[in-house]
Amino acid sequence: MQAPLDENERVDRIAAHIKEIISLLGEDPGREGLLKTPRRAAKALVHACSGYSANPEELLGNALFQAESSGMVIVGDIEFYSMCEHHILPFFGKVSVGYMPGEKIVGLSKIARMVDAFSHRLQLQERFTSQLAECLRTAIGAKGVIVACCGEHLCMKMRGVEKQHASTTTVAYNGLFTNAHELRREFFEAIGRR
């Protein structure tokens, strides 16, 4: 790992590369409309990849509450925005999470923060889905977690490949969901099976 850079310094250094990319693309980085683009683009990129600095398990920290029932908890349709690690182009969509509580449940907004921590990286949708499932299980001591993610990938759409697969669905589960087809069905029925 590199020593952490101050955020301003990182933006400056990334901006210098983006300026170079603009001219390699055949544009004039000195053109008025592009003058501020390198720094703006660098900031956008730093934000899109800001999940590395978050510790997803720590995010949940003090937002755990005593579970009052053992029924499945489902948080559906959480928006996410991520960057495909193969093309550094966005993929985005919705992710739904279900878990069977152990002793604790977690505040809903914290799950959304955890989604941001894993999505704001150079990512693969498959890995994003399973990282969420694993981390939630460990962090809240759930008896099982299931995650279903539906994403649209600009690298597929813009480059004109596989346009017929306009969205990609990935599913990951662990614990009680592994051998319980009926629990998985309960989850998919609750989120409206997509």
Contact with Zn ion (CB under 5 A): which of 11, 60, 84, 146? Answer: 84
Q: Of 13, 36, 86, 194, which lies in the binding site for Zn ion, with binding defined by CB under 5 A?
A: 86
The only residue of 34, 155, 176, 180 in contact with Zn ion, by rule CB under 5 A? 155
Does 154 help bind Zn ion (rule: CB under 5 A)?
Answer: no
Cα–Cα distance between 113 and 79 in angstroms, integer?
Answer: 11
Binding of Zn ion by 145 (CB under 5 A): no
Residue 87 sits in the site that holds Zn ion (CB under 5 A): yes
The catalytic residues are 84-87, 125, 153, 155
d(CA 125, CA 120): 12
* Binding region for Zn ion (CB under 5 A) out of 98-106, 113-121, 154-162, 170-178: 154-162
Our CB check for Zn ion shows the closer of 165 and 185 to be 165
CB of 107 within 8 A of CB of 66? no
DSSP code of residue 110: H
- Give Cα separations from 75 to 88, 95, 110, 190 (angstroms): 28, 9, 11, 10
Find how far residue 82's CA is from the centre of its chain.
Answer: 5
Binding stretches for Zn ion (CB under 5 A)? 84, 86-87, 155
